[in-house]
Structures are given as C-alpha cells and as structure tokens.
Amino acid sequence: MIPNQWYAVLPSQKVKKGRILAVKRLNLDLAFFRTKNGELGCVTDQCSHRGAALSAGEVRGNCIRCPFHGLEFDSSGACRFIPANGKSSTEDLSRYHVKRYPVREANGIVYVWYGDEAKATETLPFFSNEIDGSFSWSEIEDLWNSHYSRCIENQLDVIHVPIVHYNTIGRGNKTLINGPKVIFEDGVLLTSANNEKDVGQKPKPPKDCVIKSTYLKFRYPNIWLNRISEKVKVLIFFAPVDDEHTVLYIRFYNKITNARWINAAIAWLGKYMNRVIERQDKRVVITQRPKASSYRSGEKLLTGDGPILLYRKLRDEFQRKE
C-alpha cells in the first residue's frame, strides 16, 4: 500500500445504521458502524479485553458493544463502559481503547485513511470535475484473486483491449498500438488509446499521439475513470482486501437524456455491460504472477505499456517518499 492516503474501500450504502459491518481492507480486519446520529465509525475488529470480534456484537447508541463481555467503544475507539466494573466505576478506561481508523464518506463512497492520522488531508480522491449530481448511476462489485496494483494496471492497459475484448469494446481488430501518450499532472494520470488496424504501417511514438476525447484517468491510490463521452462515464474504485485479493466496485454513470428515470434505466442496463467486460478482464488478470506488480521487475514491457510503466514509477516513488 501507499501510506498516508485516503483509500476508497466501500460504498456508503453498505454501512447500515444500527448494524456492524465486518470487512477486511488494506490487510486489516475492520468493523464499520454508524452511531444513532448516522456518524460513521471504523475500529479494529478485535476487543482489547479478550480479543473477540467486535463485529459480532451490536450498536448501542453511539457505541459498538463487544459480544463477549459487553465493553463499549465509541467511534474514536475510546472505551466508554465496562459492565463488569459497574456504572459507578471511576477506573481510567484508556488502557482498553481500541485502534480507530479515520473514515469519511463522499459521493456514496467510504474512505479510510491509511497511515499517520496527523497527516490526513481534507481532500478525498474523486473526479468531481467529471461527475456531479446530474448523473444517474448503477454499481456492481466483484472480488478478484489479484493484488490491487494488477487490477489498476489492467484499466490503464490499451494493448489488451483488441485481444481480451475482441468481441465487445475491442471490436475492429485494432491491434497496432500508437503511443499511447500519457501524462501526469494535478495528481492525475491521463492517457487514451490510439489503436489502429495493422496494415504494415509503423506505430507512432507517444510524442506524436494526442489525448483523445475518450480517455482514461487514474487518481492515486485506487480510483479510475473512463470518459466514454461527456454524458457517459465508467468509474472503478479498487478496494484492497489483502496482498492477493481486491474488490472492484464498478459504476456506470450517464445523463444521456433529460429524463432522470430514463437515465436510471440506462444505468441499470449499463451495469450488465460492465459485468461482461469485467469478466473478460478478470479471467486473465487473476492468472498474473507475481500477484503484485512492481517498478523493478523482470517483465519485458512494450512501448505501448507506457501508462503502466508510469503508474509503477509513481507508485514506487510515493511508497518510498512516505
């Protein structure tokens, strides 16, 4: 993982009021819950007393209650009550506190800060200049037996499109790869496919290519956008589970018509198209070895792998920087 980053890890709707959600993210066992006022909390899924899973307990008011001995913890991880000590106890409970993780939500996404809490930033990674409330959207999720770096690279890979997706988005047998041009500015990696049918011509170098109106964007650490048109976009956030598993949350956004209910119907259909394309990718990506990619590897990259090479280089720099 890249430390000191906000990671998109869950859709907001997954964390229900009055219930505890246990998930593994970022190699951590986490318990998410909402207080009676709807405030989001995230703590380690292990009681400090005897190690029971807090997620097997319940939400009481503003606290999460351990199922074993009833210790209660608020959204800051502070222990607020120990039944065995009685209501009149004056004992300092700080030794029982559990680790909490800073958590925020926006755009229907739950973000967890991974790293030094004192370095947490105000800005959450998203594409607010691309997507606003005028879009209707649908979402699917799928667990891949693959490291999140491989999943991300697949979405920056323009070479595989005519091969893996030969009968869907890669129709036309455009196997010759021009460039592609790739840039990194304002925290966003930007590229677009410039593929052509191979009729014996030489591919153009990246410097002679342009970023097309249909492009790909990636914002570290784990959120990606495909601008199909001004009115149709696909967004994915890649939630790292552990070193070998990633959950992909794939959203289809559109505002094709002026009628929101029609756009909602289009979005509903769009998620099934996303599913077909995603399964074509998954079949191949889960076979890659090693599970995680790296900047310094034995892989023999091609010129067309420019976006992947830049992604790896920047990821390596961010990891070493922190």
The predicted-structure confidence for 179-194, as pLDDT tens digits, reads as follows 999 999 999 999 999 9
Shared domain for 19 and 151, answered yes or no, is no
Shared domain for 115 and 151, answered yes or no, is no
pLDDT over 70 at 322, yes or no = no
Q: Are 84 and 62 in contact (CB under 8 A)?
A: no
Q: What is the Cα–Cα distance from 153 to 105, expressed in whole angstroms?
A: 25
Residue 309 lies in a domain: yes
- How large is the greatest C-alpha to C-alpha distance in the chain, in angstroms? 85
Mean pLDDT of 95-105: 96
Shared domain for 202 and 316, answered yes or no, is yes
Mean pLDDT of 70-92: 93
Angle (CA) 74-80-82 rounded to 5° is 125
pLDDT in tens, 276-291: 999 999 999 999 999 9
Q: Can you give the pLDDT at residue 46?
A: 97
CATH code for the domain of 289: 3.90.380.10
User: Which of 89, 119, 149 is the last residue in one of the domains?
Assistant: 119
What type of residue is 81?
Answer: F
User: Which of 86, 119, 152 is the last residue in one of the domains?
Assistant: 119
Closest to 14 in 3D by CA, of 237, 313, 254: 237
Q: Can you give the pLDDT at residue 225?
A: 98
Q: Can you give the pLDDT at residue 75?
A: 94
Mean pLDDT of 167-189: 96
Residue 160 lies in a domain: yes
Residue 55 lies in a domain: yes
Cβ neighbourhood burial of 211 (10 Å; 0-12, 13-18, 19+): middle
Shared domain for 80 and 148, answered yes or no, is no
| 92: Cα separation from own chain's centroid | 39
Residue 209: pLDDT band (50, 70, 90) is: very high
Q: Could you tell me what percent of the chain has a pLDDT over 90?
A: 94
Residue 129 lies in a domain: no
Q: Can you give the pLDDT at residue 92?
A: 84
pLDDT in tens, 247-300: 999 999 999 999 999 999 999 999 999 999 999 999 999 999 999 999 999 999
- Locus of tokens 């001004």: 230
User: Which of 57, 86, 119 is the last residue in one of the domains?
Assistant: 119
Residue 128 lies in a domain: no
Q: What does 184-235 look like in DSSP terms, one character per residue?
A: EETTEEEE---EE--SSPPPPPGGG----SSEEEEETTTEEEEEEETTEEEE
Phi-psi region at 61: left, alpha or beta (left = phi > 0; alpha = psi -120 to 50): left
Shared domain for 106 and 153, answered yes or no, is no
Total domains in the fold of the chain: 2
Q: Can you give the pLDDT at residue 37?
A: 87
Residue 126 lies in a domain: no
Q: What is the Cα–Cα distance from 251 to 278, expressed in whole angstroms?
A: 12
Residue 241, domain extent: 136-321
Phi and psi for 72 in degrees, rounded to 5?
-115, 140
pLDDT over 90 at 244, yes or no = yes
Per-residue tokens: 279: 């399964």
Q: What is the Cα–Cα distance from 107 to 103, expressed in whole angstroms?
A: 14
What mean pLDDT, rounded, does the chain reach? 96
Residue 321: pLDDT band (50, 70, 90) is: confident
Shared domain for 142 and 234, answered yes or no, is yes
Task: Please tell me whether the peptide bond between 180 and the residue prior to it is cis, using omega within 30 degrees of 0.
Answer: yes
Per-residue tokens: 186: 């304002």
pLDDT over 70 at 49, yes or no = yes
Per-residue tokens: 22: 């246990």
Shared domain for 110 and 178, answered yes or no, is no
Rounded to two decimals, what is the model's pTM? 0.95
Residue 131 lies in a domain: no
Shared domain for 140 and 263, answered yes or no, is yes
Q: What is the Cα–Cα distance from 226 to 220, expressed in whole angstroms?
A: 15
Shared domain for 168 and 300, answered yes or no, is yes
Shared domain for 184 and 309, answered yes or no, is yes
Shared domain for 222 and 302, answered yes or no, is yes
Cβ neighbourhood burial of 171 (10 Å; 0-12, 13-18, 19+): exposed
Mean pLDDT of 62-90: 94
CATH code for the domain of 68: 2.102.10.10
- Locus of tokens 């030489």: 202
The residues facing 79 across adjacent strands are 73
Shared domain for 113 and 170, answered yes or no, is no
Mean pLDDT of 79-86: 94
Residue 154 lies in a domain: yes
